[in-house]
Amino acid sequence: MSKRSLLLTFGFFLMTHLTSPTAEAKLFANQFVEFDLPPNWACLLEGAEWVCQNQQDATKKKEAIIILAAKIQGDQDTLDQYGAYLKNPKVYTTPKGKSVTSEVRYARNQTIMDHPWVDALHLESEIPGFYTRYLATVKEGIGVLVTYSVNKNKYPEYSTMFDSMIKSLKVFRREGGLNASGIGGATSNLFANSKPPAAMTSDTFNAGIPAANTEAPKPKKKGGLLDDPMVLYGAAGVGGLLLLTALKKMKK
């Protein structure tokens, strides 16, 4: 094989692996959403909501949780009203009587899989010491909410994984599935239907998770680094130069 062929082959290999996922995801679907679920994660129906966590590692199970909720669409279920709600801090009292006011990092509209959603990020809006990202929308007469909560000390570790799940998120209303999914009535509150398990809301729940980079996340611009073809071509070029240098040394 010629040097040129070797370089082209190596460049193609590098670009392919830069853009491919590192682990194989599995598709989860219920009566109103579907998305790619990471390995070792599972979603279980608990009462009127679905709870998704890592089921293979007890420590990681405490670090992050996804909750899925839906309800019959009422007068208060519109994207504008969801956005207005999520732009305001949430105030609540913990089981130990501590008053908590969440910090709003952002609240905006975005399109996922050709469907509009409200996307917001709060600190300590659902669980003390946790970030929670909210994705809310309406479709075919139902309101749907997906929350992604992660310990603030673990946010950098989970943010990319959550982004991948969100990019694959589809919403629909499956016929005959309303009763089985526990969807609430038109007058119920969608955000009140997505409560995390009581154990996770305790003040001491995250005490054993070591500190890490807790700098507040900022909204990402559309398109990541690997979405830029010039970056990919540059990376492939660097890889090719490294390979060429190695070939020259082999000839000496």
- Tens digit of each residue's pLDDT (9 = 90 or more) over 161-205: 999 999 999 999 987 655 544 577 888 999 987 888 777 765 545
| pLDDT tens-place string over residues 219-233 | 555 554 444 444 444
pTM: 0.73
**CB atoms near residue 13 (< 10 Å):** 12
Q: Which helix (H) or strand (E) holds 139?
A: strand 130-139
| DSSP tag of 138 | E
Q: Are strands 170-171 and 33-37 parallel, antiparallel or unpaired?
A: antiparallel
Mean pLDDT, contiguous 10-residue spans, the chain (252 residues): 48 41 76 95 92 95 96 95 97 90 98 98 96 97 96 96 97 72 79 80 52 52 48 50 55 55
Q: Which residue has the tokens 């990541």?
A: 224
Taking the CA of residue 231 as centre, how many other CA atoms within 13 Å lie in the half-sphere pointing to its CB?
A: 8
